[in-house]
Amino acid sequence: MKHLIIACLVGPSLLLTAQAAAPTASPKPLAIETAVTGTLGYDNNVYLVDQGTLGRVDSVVSTVGAKVSGQFTSGASASYAATGTRFWNASDEDNAKHQLAAGYKHAFDALSVNAATEFAQVQGADQGNVYGVANKSTFTTPAPRERRDQLQNKTDLAVRYDLGQNFIRGVGKLQYWDMQTHALSGGENYRDRYDLNGGADFGRAFTPGGPDYYLGYRRGYFYQDTDGTTPTTACATSQYNRFLAGVDGKITPTLKLAAQLGWTVNDYTSSYGGADRSLEGLYQDVSATWKATASDELQLKTTMGRTVSSTSAASVLASTYQLGWKHDFNKQWTSSLTGRLSKNNYDGTTDRSDVLYTGIAALTWNSSATLAWTLSLTQEFAKNIRTNVGSDFNQAAFEHSLVSAGVTWKL
């Protein structure tokens, strides 16, 4: 079943890319880029928890990486990247990550195709962590989970047909995680999961070169493995229907907007925690970029929707609100500031909300056309808002700081 799901979207993407690179078109790379990167930093809370067995473990963190990418005249692209990360005081978090990506973007008169797929393999520890706390934040486990043995795939496919200023577009999207961690008593045992959806958009560009406005529908499936057991009252696998309205393009010469707003209805295979088997609510995915001046750019991002989780036993409504500012002092020096609020609300009778506040500052010096140096600082605070349980959920609060210096060399 897993292989069939992946083939539904990944197969067409790879096929289109292969066709674009076929000898009949005799494409040659327009550009091949190679880059080498390295960072050295300090993490004061590797496991993102303040209490328990792994509370406040700190470590020096170093990474080395390389990436090769090529763009072809046919519209095809491909890249490979490898990154190795070492935690000097937490060796279980050491890992190597390989990323292989392919894409194809081309227009055939009124018909256009945009396909992209990326496979990522992480070689890390094959067991989850034992935290030694009764309750922790839902923002605690994602980072360590990404450092564990696993295979990921992200695929997007869109085929569009223009009828004058009107258009119809078929779309598909897959996010897939094959978690390869072994069951560990008292620890985090991450579950395989995927989010697959497809549908169609019907829209119009009211002015030539202007933004696209459209109405759309998505039929999707959240799958969450239950580790071989038959789910009875604790499983967050669901099917969903989503109705949305969207806009994509330049609203003004300095303002670019990509936004989807709609309503999603999730039908779950079982109830859990007192939650209804049918849950519905607002869906949003908005990104706005405003070029305020020649040297300043503001970006706003916000998302909201129910999502797959790592445990498979809970449904979570996740939302994020992010504001970023980028400033170019000159051709050599640039800086950025980012503020983000993330919130996870549990469905059901469990009245729990986890909140994460994140601030990121970065300064980049382009010392030459091929060499760039970056200094960055990330500061996070997490807390739990809960009204009907005792003080043990104070364990969900944590503080996290990460400072790093990095270099990128384009060969």
**pLDDT at residue number 224:** 80
**CB distance 361 to 328 below 8 Å:** no
CB count in 10 Å sphere of residue 178: 16
Short-list 257, 326, 341, 335, CA closest to 294: 326
- Mean pLDDT value of segment 372-399: 81
> Using CA of residue 43, residue 46, residue 50, residue 56, what is the dihedral sign?
negative
**pLDDT at residue number 359:** 98
Following DSSP, what letter does each residue of 347-359 receive, concatenated?
Answer: -SS--EEEEEEEE
Q: Which residues share a beta bridge with 85?
A: 63, 95
Question: What pTM does this model have?
Answer: 0.88
Classified as helix, coil or strand, 238 is: strand
Amino acid of residue 215: L
Q: Alpha-carbon distance 243 to 163, whole Å? A: 23
**pLDDT at residue number 18:** 46
Q: In this predicted model, what pLDDT tens digit does every residue of 20-54 receive, in sequence order?
A: 444 444 455 568 999 999 999 999 999 999 988 99
Q: Alpha-carbon distance 354 to 314, whole Å? A: 14
Query: Would you give the DSSP letter of residue 125?
Result: B
- The residue length of the chain stands at 411
- Mean pLDDT value of segment 307-331: 84
Q: In this predicted model, what pLDDT tens digit does every residue of 237-292 receive, in sequence order?
A: 889 999 999 999 999 999 999 999 999 998 887 765 556 778 889 999 999 999 99
**Is CATH 2.40.50 correct for 2-23+32-410?**
no
